[in-house]
Each structure stands twice: as structure tokens, then as C-alpha cells.
Amino acid sequence: MSGPSPKTVLKLALPVPLPHLFDYLPPKTPAASESPVVPGVRAVVPFGRRKLVGVVVECGAPAAVDSKRLLRVSRILDDGVPVIDTSLLGLLRWCWQYYKHAPGEVLLAALPPALRKPDGLLPEPPLRFLITEAGREQLAGPPGRAPAQRAMLKALADGPLGEDELAATGSRWRAVLKRVSEQGWVESEPEPASTARPSGGHELTGEQASAVAAIREDLGQFRCHLLDGVTGSGKTEVYLKVLEQVLRDGGQGLVLVPEIGLTPQLLRRFRQRLGLEPAVLHSGLSAGERLAAWDAARTGRARLVIGTRSALFTPMPELGLIVLDEEHDTSFKQQDGFRYSARDVAVKRAADGELPVILGSATPSLESLNNAQSGRYRHHRLRHRANRAVLPAWRVLDMRQQANVQGLAAASVEAIEETLEQGGQAMVFLNRRGYAPVLMCQSCGWHSECARCDASLTWHRSTRQLCCHHCGSQRRAPELCPDCRADALFGLGEGTQQIEEALGRRFPGVPVLRFDRDSTARKGRFGEQVEKVMEGEPCILVGTQMLAKGHHFPGVTLVVVVNVDQALYSADFRALERLGQTLLQVAGRAGRMERPGTVMLQTFHPEHEALALLIGEGYEAYAGWLLEDRRAAGLPPCAFQALLRAEAHLKSDVETFLQAAAAVFPDGGCRVYGPLPALMERVGGRYRMYLMVQGPGRPELHRQLDAWLPLLRGLREGRRVRWAIDVDPQEV
Ligand SMILES: Nc1ncnc2c1ncn2[C@@H]1O[C@H](COP(=O)(O)OP(=O)(O)OP(=O)(O)O)[C@@H](O)[C@H]1O
Ligand SMILES: [Zn+2]
């Protein structure tokens, strides 16, 4: 027997945080039936003392080390069927190179969790069951002594059913199914692909129609379309019209939405308009549900996938369109581990697959606006609300001159009262959950601080807890001041719970619905509350960011924004961009139907030029002003950045490492700045700092980063810290 030739080495991505692929010999004597190993298949390999599941990335590459020392793949999984197709594999490879992240972690993140384990298998294709001629005859005959069998035949008489539907016919359905199948009364076949039956939909406005026409023209080729339409302008209707065409042409559609944009209402809308069941993918699903949805997309049974960030990596053999709704949303950027931007990777996927991508938003990111201005993206503007509703009117409340009860201005309370009297619904927005952001002692000035973070502990009065919203630590709230023992503790500032309580007291009998991460923690609660709002009875909604995103609440005519002043003076250069987006998105919930809406903005800085511009002239002017500023300051999107982030228990370790890292930064057109402290320097007892690398061009930035990385890995100072590269960072 000849020794293994280097030609047959397999390169695998394994789930370990190392920056390379791993060489293995192919499995021993593959069975005759087994097809040759191809890229994209899963394999089990020995790794140290463990067995790992990896994905074969390359076959037949020359081995990096002497092949005699190589270990052998234990076995190939899934009968050698690739779980990741070639084009997706190419995209993932681009990702690990671009984001400088471990290939194995990138690749395995693209697999449903169930397939990351050796015992997880590709699911069997689902079957559906049909009644046969003999079955019909049986049903037509006199009822026998097997009522369960008869009931099943009866259920099938109206058309084929899947396993889920049969399961609803009785607990012993499997046994019954077996019996009727043996009799030849029922047969099975693979579940066919879902087909779209679009119906309904609006007659498009002129603006919608021209956007739809332009995007349809580009089907079958790559182009990025920025759909820049004010809140309520009917962007979703544009997506639907283009998707209709894609589905009709036999393509698959992929729709990505922000973390909390994936609501039952949204799904219902897609389901009803397109007349098909979308495969839904998000992190809240069970492993089994996720696997099933992913597999339906991979095999082409599912024609439409709707999901959050990571759904971007679903294999879809006939993908014809990607839609990214609320493209400015920060949840599209993963903030730990594999720090990718789903927006940017979506554009790359579309380019690779030669298909159009739609980025939609009422408040586009400066990155996308910049790309539209430079002609790289096609820019479609929808300036009017679709259903003749007008954009809401703004009222700025100078809080220095307003009586203020528990955070609410007297004028806001009056406006809420008026709204309720007229049968409308009011929404109060503030970005702080809990009862009060700080618990403070009136006598000695003590205040609740997290021992492990540079942050105060939020007072959750109902549960009598002090909670850190950064590291999650919790403790019982003291009754007396822990320092001076005075009975003088009070909550400083307001959180959603306090506003909820204040409104409940002021408007007895009116439902006050709170939407924040605490109140909607229970599964399904969010949806229930939304349903309640949709019933249209007068009510008050109080909530955080969660309320800002894409909801269509027809009854809401008043929006009160409680406190956004912090952002006006933030050290983060993106703070004003985010503020403008949040304000307009929240405001956009008001007056989406016949009755016009009002937005009341409570602020201590009514004269601030940013607010004046945003409210006076709108987002386009505001974003233009911000973009000019970025250009003048040489900041993204007019420059390119990457961060080297590092953290450790000892601040000196972080500093020493970053200084050493800066010292070995290679020469070139990009410069390195720092070490600088993270915006919140200490979280969970760890100090966090970074170096910022910035330059005028992307290729230059990547060339220098790629030259720097091996040097960083060689630094002995790096052993005492956790470090990572963040390309195109969104926060510091
Ligand atoms: N051409 C049209 N004619 C009449 N009504 C329309 C039309 N297009 C959309 N609508 C209606 O207008 C409302 C807002 O539309 P939609 O939710 O699609 O807006 P949007 O731009 O996605 O909003 P947002 O950015 O605020 O989420 C919906 O009730 C929708 O049914
Ligand atoms: Zn903390």
C-alpha cells in the first residue's frame, strides 16, 4: 500500500479560536458507495483528546506539514452531502479574511446549532400523506370498528397533510398512520416546495412604482438599491412587490430585519400578501425549529426566509433577492466574537450571487448615504406617506420652563390626556428600563454603583433589586443608606417602570402597556401587548428602543420623547447619527393613518443646532450636515477604521499590550491611535481599551492589518489579555 499522497490532504475549519485551517488525511477506506469528499461537507476529526465537528473547506491542497504526521478524519457526516454550498463557502472565506476572525468560528456560526455536534444530523426530507383510491372507497363504505383510522382518512380526504397536521388528529396518530398505510389506504411523498400565491396589496404610489420598476429591472444582476423612504411611506410594500416577481420567476427571497423587528405582525403581513409560509430564522428558536427552517431553505422547499442577522448565512440555492429592512439598525452588526456587519456582508453576498439587494430605511446610515451619493448604490426616495397620512408635527418642550412630575412635563401629560379623550393612543419613549437609573441617599450623597463596571446600578423597585445593565450583576436594594444608615434613599431620574407607575396613577382605568426587555422577557408577551394595542382602544404605551422599530400602530397619534439629551454631548462621534435615527423612528410611529400625529420632544437643550436642523429640515438635511462633518474630520464613512480591542483584569496589562502592539504596527498609509479607554472602560471587572487604526482606503487598511496580525500573535504581552480585531467598528 502506498503512503498517503499530499494531494489528498483535506483542509478543515474547526470550531477553535485559531486563525487557520487544519490539515487532515481523508478517512480510511471509504465505502464503495461513498462519493469523494467535497468542500462543504461536515466531518468528525480527532483534536487533542477531543472529537470535533468541522467543515471541509478544501480538498487536495498540498499539506502544510509532513503528511506522515497528519491525523486522519474519523468520518464524513451527512453521507457526504455538503451542508454549505460552494458560493456560501466562498462568502464565508471572504468573511474570515475581511473580519480577521478564526475561520472555524465563522464557518460554524453559519451552521444551525444542531449541526455543530457530531450526533446532529441533516433532517430527513419531510413527507406529506395522501389518501389513495382504495382509501376513498374504504371511507365511502360503512364505518367499521376503527374510528381513529376513519378519522384520519376523513382528514386526508380534503387534500394531503404533513406530519404536523396529522399529529393534530390524535395522540396515537403514528400508529394509526402505520395501520392505514399498511392497508394501502394512504401513501406518502416528499413535501413539495411551497409556492407563492400573492394577493391583495395596494395600488402603488408614483414613488413606490418607480422604485419597484427600477429594482425589477435589475433582477438577475448585482446592484445595491437604497430605499430611502420616510416612516410610513410603504417601503414594505415595495419589498413585497419585488419579492412577488422574484418568487414568480422561481427565485428565493431573503429578508433580514433587526433583532426586535421580527414580530408576528410582520410575518403575518408577508404570509398574507405573498400567500406562502416563510421560513423564519432567529436566535430565539429551539435547535430543532432552526434546523428545520434552515434545511427547508437549503433544499429550496422554502422560497422565502425572514430572519435576523445570522439568517444571512442560510444556504439558498436559488436566491434571487436580499432585502435588509431598517438598514441603519445597529443590531445588524455583531458586537462580539465574529464581529461582522450583516449589511455589508449582504451586499457582498448579492455581488457574488449576481442579484440585487435592497437596503431600506427612513433614516439611512451615513455609510449607505455616502455610497448613494457616490453613485455606488441606486438611491430611491419615498418622500410621502403612502396612505395620504401626513408626517407628524413636532413640539419641542423646553424642560427648563416646564413643571416636571416624575420625568413628564406638564404639557406632555396634558397632551396625553387630550389624546385619550379623543379616543387615540399615546406612546412615551425613553431609553431607560427599570424604575430609576440610580438609587441615591439624600443625606450623604451615596449612590448605587456597580462594583465591577463604570456604571450605576439601576433600581428595579418592584423586585427590590439593584441591577447592572452592563454585567448583569444584581443585589437586593438596601432599605437604609449603606453608608450613613439614613432612611433617605430615593431614585434619581426616571426609568420605564416609574413612568408606567406615574401614568397609571394619573390616568386610572386606562391601560398602560410597558415595552422593555424586562416586561417582554416572557416568550409571547411582546406579541400579546402589540395585539392589545392593535385593538385600537385608548391606551398608553411606555417603552424603550423596542417601540421605535418599524411597528405600525394605527391608533397612535401622540409620541412623547422623554430624554435624549445625553446623546447631544456624547464622546462617540456616531451619537448624533443614532440620535437622529432614533428620534425620527420613534416619531414615525405617530399619526400613520387618517388622524395626524404629534411628537413632543422634552429637552433641556432646545436651542441645540442638531435638534433644530433635524426637526426643522428633516433627516436628509441633517444627515447631509453630519456627513459634511465626517468628511471634514476625516471620519467614517469618509475614512476606514479598525480597532484592536483588548481587555484584562489589570489595566496595566491592557496598556502594556496595546503599547507593544502600537510599536510593531507596520508602515503604510494608515495610522494607529491610542491606547484609548473604551467608552465604558470597566465592565464585569475587566478593563477595556483599544487602538484605533485609520486610513483613507480599504485595501491599504487591510494590507497593514494583515501584516500586523502575525506580529500581534507573537507578542508575549498578548498572553495576559483578551484581544480581537474589529473591522469597521460601530462602537468604542
Ligand atoms: N400604495 C399604497 N397605498 C395605500 N396605502 C399603502 C400603500 N403602500 C403602503 N400602504 C400602507 O401604508 C402603511 C405604511 O406602510 P409600510 O408599513 O409599508 O411603511 P414603511 O415605509 O415600511 O414604514 P416604516 O419605515 O415606518 O416601518 C401601511 O398600513 C400600508 O398598508
Ligand atoms: Zn456591572
Residue 594 counted as domain residue: yes
Residue 122 counted as domain residue: no
* CA atoms lying within 13 Å on the CB side of residue 421: 6
- Cα 230 to middle of ligand 1, angstroms: 10
DSSP designation for 332 = G
Q: Is residue 277 domain-shared with residue 150, that is, in the same domain?
A: no
Per-residue pLDDT, 564: 84
Produce one character per residue of 682-700: b if its CB has 16 or more CB atoms within 10 Å, e if not: bbeebbbbbbbbbbeeeee
Average pLDDT for 20-32: 79
CATH of the domain at 95: 3.40.1440.60
Is residue 6 over pLDDT 50? no
Cβ of 208 less than 6 Å from ligand 1: yes
Q: Which of 304, 374, 310 lies closest to 342 in space, CA to CA?
A: 310
Per-residue pLDDT, 546: 83
- Cα 236 to middle of ligand 1, angstroms: 6
Average pLDDT for 484-498: 90
Cell 416572557 identifies what position?
Answer: 522
CATH of the domain at 614: 3.40.50.300
Q: Is the Cβ–Cβ distance between 199 and 164 less than 8 Å?
A: no
Q: How do residues 562-576 score in pLDDT, each as one tens digit?
A: 988 888 888 889 999
Closest residue (by CA) to atom 30 of ligand 1?
234
Per-residue pLDDT, 64: 67
Q: Is residue 346 domain-shared with residue 421, that is, in the same domain?
A: no
Residue 105 counted as domain residue: yes
Is residue 329 over pLDDT 90? yes
484 annotated to a ligand binding site: yes
ipTM exceeding the 0.90 mark: yes
Q: Report the 3 state secondary structure along 215-272.
A: HHHCCCCCEEEEEEECCCCCHHHHHHHHHHHHHHCCCEEEEECCHHHCCHHHHHHHHH
Q: How do residues 381-391 score in pLDDT, each as one tens digit?
A: 999 988 878 88
- Cα 449 to middle of ligand 2, angstroms: 8
Alpha carbon 614 to chain centroid, angstroms: 27
Cβ of 593 less than 6 Å from ligand 1: no
Q: Which of 497, 500, 478 lies closest to 489 in space, CA to CA?
A: 478
Q: Is residue 243 domain-shared with residue 339, that is, in the same domain?
A: yes
Q: Is residue 402 domain-shared with residue 263, that is, in the same domain?
A: no
CATH of the domain at 719: 3.30.70.600
Give the range of the structural domain holding residue 693, as residue numbers without chain letter. Answer: 640-727
Please, what is the average pLDDT of the chain?
90
Q: Is residue 372 domain-shared with residue 400, that is, in the same domain?
A: no
Q: Is residue 585 domain-shared with residue 702, that is, in the same domain?
A: no
- Cα 685 to middle of ligand 2, angstroms: 8
Q: Is the Cβ–Cβ distance between 619 and 587 less than 8 Å?
A: no
* Cα distance between the two ends of the chain: 58
Between CA 316 and CA 300 the distance in angstroms is: 7
- Contacts of residue 399, defined as CB under 8 A and 6 or more positions apart, other chains included, come to 409, 602, 603, 604
Q: Is residue 136 domain-shared with residue 98, that is, in the same domain?
A: no
Q: Which of 116, 135, 167 is the last residue of a domain?
A: 116
Is residue 3 over pLDDT 50? no
Q: Give the bridge partners for 228, in sequence order.
A: 361, 381
Per-residue pLDDT, 552: 81
Per-residue pLDDT, 1: 39
Ligand 1 atom closest to the Cα of residue 554 is: 29
Query: How many structural domains are present in the chain?
Result: 5
Q: Is the Cβ–Cβ distance between 167 and 176 less than 8 Å?
A: no
Q: Give the bridge partners for 98, in sequence order.
A: none
Residue 538 counted as domain residue: yes
Residue 451 counted as domain residue: no
Between CA 642 and CA 727 the distance in angstroms is: 4
Closest residue (by CA) to atom 25 of ligand 1?
231
Per-residue pLDDT, 149: 87
What is the phi/psi pair of residue 136, to 5°?
A: -65, -40
State the pairing for strand pair 75-76/686-695: unpaired
Residue 20 counted as domain residue: yes
Q: Is residue 723 domain-shared with residue 625, that is, in the same domain?
A: no
Taking the CA of 473 as reference, the closest ligand is: 2
Q: How do residues 46-67 score in pLDDT, each as one tens digit?
A: 999 999 999 999 988 777 667 6
Which of 83-92, 165-174, 233-242, 432-441 is the least confident region?
Answer: 165-174
- Contacts of residue 246, defined as CB under 8 A and 6 or more positions apart, other chains included, come to 219, 252, 253, 320, 321
Alpha carbon 256 to chain centroid, angstroms: 8
Read off the C-alpha cell for 460.
428595579
Q: Is residue 358 domain-shared with residue 498, that is, in the same domain?
A: no
- Cα 409 to middle of ligand 2, angstroms: 31
- Cα 550 to middle of ligand 1, angstroms: 10
| Best residue for ligand 1 mutational test, from 228, 230, 233, 534 (most atoms within 8 Å of Cβ) | 233
Q: How do residues 443-471 score in pLDDT, each as one tens digit?
A: 899 999 998 888 889 999 888 999 998 88
Q: Is residue 95 domain-shared with residue 182, that is, in the same domain?
A: no
What is the phi/psi pair of residue 382, to 5°?
A: -115, 105
What confidence category does residue 4 fall into, taking pLDDT thresholds of 50, 70 and 90? Answer: very low
What confidence category does residue 144 fall into, taking pLDDT thresholds of 50, 70 and 90? Answer: confident
* CA atoms lying within 13 Å on the CB side of residue 700: 14
Between CA 255 and CA 100 the distance in angstroms is: 26
Per-residue pLDDT, 672: 96
450 annotated to a ligand binding site: yes
State the pairing for strand pair 186-190/127-131: antiparallel
670 annotated to a ligand binding site: no
Instruction: Using alpha carbons only, give the angle 477, 479, 480 rounded to the nearest 5 degrees.
Output: 120
Residue 111 counted as domain residue: yes
Per-residue pLDDT, 225: 98
Q: Is the Cβ–Cβ distance between 568 and 609 less than 8 Å?
A: no
Between CA 311 and CA 294 the distance in angstroms is: 9
- Contacts of residue 697, defined as CB under 8 A and 6 or more positions apart, other chains included, come to 640, 669
What confidence category does residue 31 fall into, taking pLDDT thresholds of 50, 70 and 90? Answer: low
Q: Is residue 614 domain-shared with residue 678, that is, in the same domain?
A: no
DSSP 610-627: HHHHHHHH-HHHHHHHHH
Q: Is the Cβ–Cβ distance between 590 and 392 less than 8 Å?
A: yes
Per-residue pLDDT, 472: 87
Cβ of 132 less than 6 Å from ligand 1: no
Between CA 600 and CA 612 the distance in angstroms is: 14
Question: Exposure of 139 by Cβ count < 10 A (0-12 exposed, 13-18 middle, 19+ buried)?
Answer: middle
Cβ of 387 less than 6 Å from ligand 1: yes
Per-residue pLDDT, 517: 84
| Best residue for ligand 1 mutational test, from 235, 237, 260, 327 (most atoms within 8 Å of Cβ) | 237
Is residue 33 over pLDDT 70? no
Q: Is the Cβ–Cβ distance between 222 and 356 less than 8 Å?
A: yes
Read off the C-alpha cell for 301.
422547499
What confidence category does residue 206 fall into, taking pLDDT thresholds of 50, 70 and 90? Answer: very high
Q: How do residues 513-563 score in pLDDT, each as one tens digit?
A: 999 888 877 777 888 888 888 898 999 999 998 887 767 888 999 999 998
Is residue 253 over pLDDT 90? yes
3-state class percentages of the chain: helix first, strand second, coil last, to nearest 5: 35, 25, 40
Between CA 561 and CA 602 the distance in angstroms is: 6
Sheet holding 161-162, edge to edge: 161-162, 127-131, 186-190
Cβ of 266 less than 6 Å from ligand 1: no
Read off the C-alpha cell for 497.
417602570
Is residue 376 over pLDDT 70? yes
- Contacts of residue 296, defined as CB under 8 A and 6 or more positions apart, other chains included, come to 279, 302
Residue 458 counted as domain residue: no
CB atoms near residue 307 (< 10 Å) = 26
What is the phi/psi pair of residue 293, to 5°?
A: -65, -45
Q: Is residue 376 domain-shared with residue 410, that is, in the same domain?
A: no
Is residue 121 over pLDDT 70? yes
CB atoms near residue 50 (< 10 Å) = 8
Is residue 709 over pLDDT 50? yes
